Amino acid sequence: MILVTGGAGFIGSNFILDWFSQSNEPVINLDKLTYAGNLQNLAITAGDERHVFVKGDIGDSALVTKLLAEHRPRAIINFAAESHVDRSILGPEAFIQTNIVGTFRLLEAAHAYWRTLNEAEKKDFRFLHVSTDEVYGSLTEHEPAFTEMHRYQPSSPYSASKASSDHLVNAYHRTFGLPTLITNCSNNYGPYQFPEKLIPLMIVNALAGRSLPIYGDGRQVRDWLYVADHCSALRRVLKAGEAGETYNIGGWNEKPNIEIVHTVCGLLREMTGGPATGDYLDLITHVRDRPGHDTRYAIDARKIERELDWRPGETFETGIRKTVRWYLDNQDWVASIQTGAYRDWIEKNYIQQRQ
Give 334-350 pLDDT, tens digit per residue: 888 776 554 564 466 54
pTM of the model: 0.93
Between 344 and 27, residue with greater pLDDT? 27
Task: Let me know if 215 is a catalytic residue.
Answer: no
Q: Return mean pLDDT, the chain.
A: 93
What value does the mean pLDDT take over residues 277-294?
92
Does 334 reside within a domain?
no
CB 260 within 8 A of CB 253: no
Instruction: Exactly one of 113, 158, 189, 350 is catalytic; name it.
Output: 158
Does 289 reside within a domain?
no
Domain count along the chain: 1
CB 52 within 8 A of CB 29: yes
103: CATH:
3.40.50.720
What value does the mean pLDDT take over residues 325-335?
94
CA distances for 91 relative to 97, 104, 157, 274, 322, angstroms: 11, 20, 9, 37, 33
Does 265 reside within a domain?
no
Could you list the residue range(s) of the whole structural domain that residue 168 is in?
Answer: 2-190+225-253+294-313
DSSP string of 167-234, one letter each residue: HHHHHHHHHH---EEEEEE-EEESTT--TTSHHHHHHHHHHHT--EEEETTS--EEEEEEHHHHHHHH
Write the pLDDT tens digit of every residue in 52-70. 999 999 999 999 999 999 9
Task: Let me know if 134 is a catalytic residue.
Answer: yes
Instruction: Exactly one of 57, 133, 148, 223 is catalytic; name it.
Output: 133
Percentage of the chain modeled with pLDDT above 90: 84
Does 354 reside within a domain?
no
CA distances for 295 relative to 94, 267, 298, angstroms: 25, 26, 10
Does 150 reside within a domain?
yes
Write the pLDDT tens digit of every residue in 249-261. 999 999 999 999 9
Task: Let me know if 133 is a catalytic residue.
Answer: yes
Does 163 reside within a domain?
yes
Q: Write down the pLDDT at residue 352.
A: 44
Does 121 reside within a domain?
yes
Does 260 reside within a domain?
no
Distance CA 257, CA 220 (A): 6
